[in-house]
Amino acid sequence: MISSTESAPSVQAAGFPFTAIEGQPQLQTALLLAAVDPLLGGVLVEGPRGTAKSTSARALAALLPAGRFVNLPLGATEEQLAGSLDLEAALQRSAVVFRPGLLARAHGGILYVDEVNLLADALVDLLLDVSASGINRVERDGVSHQHDARITLVGTMNPEEGQLRPQLLDRFGLFVRLENVPSAAVRKVIVKTRMAFDADPQAFVERHAAAQADLAQRVRLARERVAAVAWTDAVHDDVAQRCQDAGVEGVRADLVMLRAARAQAALHGRSAVTPADVQAVAELALAHRRTQAAPPASPPSGEPAQPPTSEEQAQTPPPAPAPASQAAGGAPSGQSGNGAALSADPSPDNGAPNGAPADAWGAMPPPQLVAMKTVKALKPLPPKKA
Place 33 in a pLDDT band, splitting at 50, 70 and 90. Answer: very high
Q: What is the pLDDT of residue 336?
A: 43
Q: What is the pLDDT of residue 368?
A: 75
Q: What is the pLDDT of residue 295?
A: 53
Q: Is residue 74 in a domain?
A: yes
Q: What is the pLDDT of residue 90?
A: 73
Distance of alpha carbon 106 from alpha carbon 102, whole angstroms: 6
Q: What is the pLDDT of residue 360?
A: 56
Q: Is residue 191 in a domain?
A: no
Q: Is residue 62 in a domain?
A: yes
The percent of residues in the chain predicted with pLDDT above 70, rounded, is: 76
Q: Is residue 150 in a domain?
A: yes
pLDDT in tens, 151-161: 878 888 888 88
Sequence-distant (6+) residues with CB within 8 A of 74 are: 114, 115, 118, 119
Sequence-distant (6+) residues with CB within 8 A of 281 are: 29, 33, 174, 257, 260, 261, 264
Q: Is residue 37 in a domain?
A: yes
The pTM assigned to this predicted structure is 0.68
pLDDT in tens, 43-67: 999 988 888 888 888 888 888 876 6
Q: Is residue 315 in a domain?
A: no
CATH number of the domain that residue 112 is part of: 3.40.50.300
Looking at the 3D structure of the chain, how many domains does it have? 1
The mean pLDDT value of the chain amounts to 78
- Enumerate the active-site residues: 252
Indicate the SS3 state at residue 23: coil
Residue type, 101: G
151 vs 365, higher pLDDT = 151
* Least confident residue range of 20-24, 243-247, 298-302: 298-302
pLDDT in tens, 83-110: 887 777 777 887 777 888 899 998 877 8
* Least confident residue range of 120-129, 170-179, 303-312: 303-312
The percent of residues in the chain predicted with pLDDT above 90, rounded, is: 34
Place 220 in a pLDDT band, splitting at 50, 70 and 90. Answer: very high
Range of the domain at 91: 18-183
Q: Is residue 235 in a domain?
A: no
Place 131 in a pLDDT band, splitting at 50, 70 and 90. Answer: confident
Q: Is residue 329 in a domain?
A: no
Closest by Cα among 244, 259, 361 to 30: 259
